[in-house]
Amino acid sequence: MSRVITISREFGSGGREVGFRLAEKLGIPFYDKEIISMAAEDTNISEEVFHRHDEVIGKKERIDHDYVSVDPFSLYEVPVSDQVFMAQSQIIKKLAQEGPCVIIGRCSDILVEDGFHVFICAGMKKRVERMLILEPQETAKKMESRMRQIDQKRRDYYQYYSGNEWGNPRNYHLSLNSGKLGIEKCVDMILESLKLYEQ
C-alpha cells in the first residue's frame, strides 16, 4: 500500500476508530490529534491555541505573544484560525511526503491530492447511541445538539478552506455508512477498495 489514506467523518460516526484500525491492519502510522502537537512544536504556538481552533473557523482573535517565537507584529495580519490551518497543513503535507499513513480530518483530502479519500457517516440515532456509550452521563437530546453543532463547524471549516462541500460523495473515493455497515466492515471495505484502486 503506497498511498496516504484520509478520513473525513461526521461526529460520532466512528471515523477515527475506522482510521485507527485501518492503520493497524496496514502497519502504517495514524495521525489525528498528533498533528496538533507537531504543528505546535513547529510554530512554538501553544497546543491549547491549536485545540481551541482545531477544525473551527475562529474570530479574528490574536495569539498571546508569550506563545510565539516569530515577529509578533506579523501576526496581526493573519487570523489565528488561518495560522492554525496553515501550520497543520504544512505538517499534513510533510507526513504525506514521508510515506503511507492514515490522516483524520483537517481538510487532509484537499491537501493530499494523490491520497485515497474516505468519508464516514451514520444516521443520527446510531451516532447518538455510540456516543452515549462513551459518555453515559450525557442525555440523548444534548448529545444530538452537540453533534449538530460540531458537524456544522466541520462543514463550515471544510468549505471555508477547500471551497468544496463537506460530505459530498463526489469529493471522496469512498463514502461509507458505519451505522449500517459497522466499524469492522467499513475497515474491510476500505482495504478491498484500496486493492482495486491500486491495480
Fold of the CATH domain 5-191: Rossmann fold (3.40.50)
Q: What pLDDT is stored for residue 80 in this prediction?
A: 77
pTM: 0.85
* 10-23 tens-digit pLDDT: 999 999 999 999 99
More confident residue, 179 or 38: 179
Q: How many C-beta atoms lie closer than 10 Å to residue 150's C-beta?
A: 15
**82's grid cell:** 488561518
Q: Which of 179, 107, 102, 169 is nearest to 147 (CA)?
A: 179
pLDDT, tens digit, 9 for 90 and up, residues 136-167: 999 999 999 999 999 999 999 999 998 999 99
Strand residues in the chain grouped as ranges (E): 5-9, 30-31, 102-104, 116-121, 174-177
Please tell me the distance from the alpha carbon of residue 38 to that of residue 166, in angstroms, as a whole number.
Answer: 25
Q: How high does pLDDT run on average in the chain? A: 87
pLDDT in tens, 40-90: 888 777 778 777 767 767 544 433 434 344 444 454 567 777 888 888 999
Q: pLDDT: is 199 or 197 the higher one?
A: 197
Is residue 173 within 8 Å of residue 117, measured between CB atoms? yes
DSSP code, position 54: T
39: left (phi over 0), alpha (psi -120 to 50) or beta: alpha
